[in-house]
A and B are shown apart, each in its own frame.
Chain A
Amino acid sequence: MNRPFWHIIIVFTAIAALLLPRVAFSQTVSADTVASESKGKKFDAKSFIFGHTGDSYEFHVTEVKGKPINIALPVIVKSKERGWFVFSSKHICHLHPGENYKGFFIQSQDAEKHAGKLVETNGKGEVIRPFDLSFTKNAFGLFFCCAFLLVFFLPAARQYKKNPMGKPNRYQGLVEWLTLMVLDGIIKPSINEKKYRKFAPYLLTVFFFIFFNNLFGLIPFFPFGANVTGNLAVTMVLALITYFFVNVLGSKHYWKDILWPDVPVFLKVPIPLMPIIELVSTLTKPFALMIRLFANILAGHIIIMVLMALIFILGGMYGAGMGLGISFISIFMTIFMTALEMLVAYIQAYVFTMLSAIFIGLAQEEPEKPKEKKQHIPIQQSSN
């Protein structure tokens, strides 16, 4: 056997050793599920997969001797009847069925409505969802990534400000390379030369926000691993901000083309058919952005989780031997998928930024100046 093969085996085993405890124990579902699992009951693939790809009220770090180690996060809720409550998530995440904390409890993953979410029971005995401003795992991941962005980019900016003509050091070189990759590769080709500076900060921020969130989501340990960009709330906000930059800051010409496009008049009056289509198209563009990013990242996470779940499903069905056997295939596939997801992390950030830039660029176009047309005619006449 040649050497590279052994290297692969070693890497394989190392990664298996790293990943196995995580997938085996890092449950973010309620305590009864964890308890039932450790007692050797049937493995719950659904809550395993969606518990990891979804949001949760605490940050599961690892498990030591059967006891989960969680980082408690603040729960901030406004009950419909009782007002605001702020408490640590450690009080609420490990309640037994039927128990509650200050009237709140987490709905079980099997429930039809609000599965895995914090709920309360109102006066009529109905289970309802309070207004939930909890600082969840995704919110934590989000803030962590934002802090990282500031810590990563601001020192470079300060160094540039202090000494703009100096030779950039290695760190500045990295920042500059990343920035120019987006600026020269995406922004400048998409937006009018005179106007790109106005939109570059947003597009740069959005690119690195998505890119680093995607990458951090792939790292399977605290403080990483939150599935931020695979969450619809996050992509929705990004798409809304893009909508704002495209439409609210769009030029007059752009709005004229939407509300009064250059089509035969019967398409605009009496029924404004084309304006309606154009207006809807302004909404579908950010909607597609929102869904594309969300679905791509979520799908990647789900595939990795399914591959891991496969070990326990087959292990449960055919015994530990089968689970061990399939784990080699699963881990190999997971490595492959993780590598692929790193590519997807870049591609999705790129696609979101590029499409945003193109939409902004299209909304900034000015009509061809009539002056030029007037100039053409005399030239032709004089040449004749």
Chain B
Amino acid sequence: MDLFLPESGLVIWMLIAFLIVFAILAKAGWPMIMNAVDKRNQHISDAMLAAKEANEALAGVEQKRKEVLADTQAEQLRIMKESQELKTQIVEEAKEQARKESEKIIAEAHTRIKKEQDEAMVQIKSEVVALSFSIAEKLLKKELDDKQAQSDFIEKLLDNSKNIQA
């Protein structure tokens, strides 16, 4: 039957029409659509990856922030403790020094007092000697007015000096 015989005319028309459409679509149709879809898929997957990385980086930053905070707190605690220790130490040292200083001052005062005491004693002694000499002089002046008395007295002094020499 003719139905099962391909018509040569239609074969030619079909070949022309199909090849033209194929050529046009293969040149300006399908590659554009495919490329655009591929490009968009690539873009989306890239963006997803970047977002994931950013999220991870953000999580890292958060972690780091916490670590830094914890470190700072520990440092703060440590510094506070140290300063406390330093404070007590300084106070102790100051006390010690003050004690030493006061002791030193007291000791100095003692020696000075003693020295002044001694000096005063020497002064008093010399004044007492001078006074007794002047009294003795006055007494002698009064007693040795006559000659007799003078010679007696000299004698007596000589004896005394002999006794002392002996």
Interface, chain A (partner B; CB < 8 A): 50, 53-55, 76, 114-117, 131-136, 138-139, 142-143, 146, 149-150, 153-154, 156-158, 160-161, 164-165, 175-176, 179-180, 183, 197, 200-202, 204-205, 209, 231-234, 236-238, 241, 298
Question: Shortest beta-carbon distance, B15 to chain A, in Å?
Answer: 5
User: What's the minimum C-beta distance from B20 to chain A, rounded to whole angstroms?
Assistant: 7
Q: Which of A55, A132, A138, A146 is the most central at the interface, judged by chain B CB atoms within 10 Å of its CB?
A: A146
Contact A201 B2 (CB under 8 A): no
Number of A-B residue pairs at CB separation under 8 A: 134
Main secondary structure on B side of the interface with A: helix
Compute how far the CA of A202 lies from the CA of B30 in the bound complex, rounded to whole angstroms: 9
Q: Are A153 and B5 in contact (CB under 8 A)?
A: no
| Closest residue on chain B to residue A167 by CB atoms | B40
Contact A50 B3 (CB under 8 A): yes
Given A164-B36, A204-B30, A236-B11, A298-B3 contact (CB < 8 Å): yes
B45 CB to nearest chain A CB (Å): 14
Instruction: Report chain B residues within 8 Å CB of A142.
Output: 10, 13-14, 17-18
Instruction: Contact check, B37 vs A176: say whether CB atoms are below 8 A apart.
Output: yes
Contact status A138-B10, CB under 8 Å? yes
CB <8 Å contact, B3 and A53: yes
Cα distance A134–B35 in the bound complex, in angstroms? 40
List A contacts of B31 (CB < 8 A). Answer: 201
Which chain B residue shows the least CB distance to A133?
Answer: B9
With contacts A136-B9, A236-B11 known, what are 7 further pairs, Cβ within 8 A? Answer: A116-B2, A135-B13, A143-B13, A153-B33, A161-B36, A176-B37, A209-B18
Which 10 pairs of residues, A with B, have the shortest CB-CB distance?
A: A201-B26, A160-B36, A233-B6, A157-B32, A233-B10, A139-B13, A164-B36, A146-B21, A237-B14, A232-B6
B135 within 8 A of A: no
Q: Report yes or no: A205 in contact with B2, Cβ–Cβ below 8 A.
A: no
Instruction: Contact check, B22 vs A114: say whether CB atoms are below 8 A apart.
Output: no
* Residues 96-150 (chain B) with a chain A CB within 8 angstroms: none
* Chain B residues with CB under 8 A of A164: 35-36, 39-40
Contact B17 A201, beta carbon cutoff 8 Å: no
- Tell me if B28 and A157 are in contact (CB < 8 A): yes
B17:A156 contact, CB within 8 angstroms: no
- Distance (Å) between the CB of B148 and the closest chain A CB? 151
- A131-B8, A142-B17, A146-B20 are known contacts. Are A205 and B26 too (CB-CB below 8 A)? yes
Contacts of A136 in B (CB 8 A): 7, 9-10, 13
Q: Is B60 on the interface with A (CB-CB < 8 A)?
A: no
For chain B residues 54-111, which have a beta carbon within 8 Å of chain A?
A: none
- What is the CB-to-nearest-CB distance from A214 to chain B, in angstroms, rounded to a whole number? 15
Specify the chain A residue showing the minimal Cβ separation from B22.
A205
The residue on B at minimum CB distance from A164 is B36
Known contacts A117-B2, A164-B39, A164-B40; is A201 also within 8 Å of B25 by CB? Answer: yes
Q: Does B24 contact A (CB under 8 A)?
A: yes
The interface residues of chain A lying within 8 Å CB-to-CB of B26 are 201-202, 205
State in angstroms the CA–CA spacing of A143 and B30 once bound together: 20
CB distance from A356 to the nearest CB of B (A): 13
Q: How far is the CA of A150 from the CA of B25 in the complex (A)?
A: 7
Q: Name the residue on B nearest A117 (C-beta).
A: B2
For A298, list chain B residues within 8 Å (CB): 3
In the bound complex, what is the Cα–Cα distance between A175 and B35 (angstroms)?
14
Supposing A114-B2, A164-B39 touch, asked if A233 and B33 sit within 8 A by C-beta, the answer is no
B21 and A209 contact, CB distance less than 8 A: yes
Does the CB pair B6–A157 fall under 8 Å?
no
Q: State whether A179 and B22 are in contact (beta carbons under 8 Å apart), knowing that A146-B17, A165-B39 are contacts in the complex.
A: no
Nearest-neighbour CB distance to chain B for A299, whole angstroms, equals 12
B32 touches A54 (CB 8 A): no
Give A148's nearest chain B residue, CB to CB. Answer: B21
With A236-B11, A237-B14, A238-B18: A154-B24 Cβ-Cβ less than 8 Å: yes
Known: A136-B9, A232-B4. A175 touches B33 (CB 8 A): yes
Chain A residues contacting B11 (CB-CB under 8 Å) are 233, 236-237
Report the separation of the CA atoms of residues A298 and B1 in the bound assembly, to the nearest whole angstrom: 14
For A146, what are the chain B residues with a Cβ–Cβ distance below 8 Å?
17-18, 20-21
List, sorted by A's number, 30 A–B pairs whose CB atoms are closer than 8 Å.
A55-B7, A114-B2, A132-B8, A133-B8, A136-B7, A139-B10, A139-B14, A143-B13, A143-B17, A149-B25, A150-B24, A150-B25, A153-B29, A154-B24, A158-B32, A160-B33, A160-B35, A160-B36, A164-B35, A164-B40, A165-B39, A179-B34, A179-B37, A201-B29, A205-B25, A205-B30, A232-B3, A233-B6, A233-B8, A241-B22
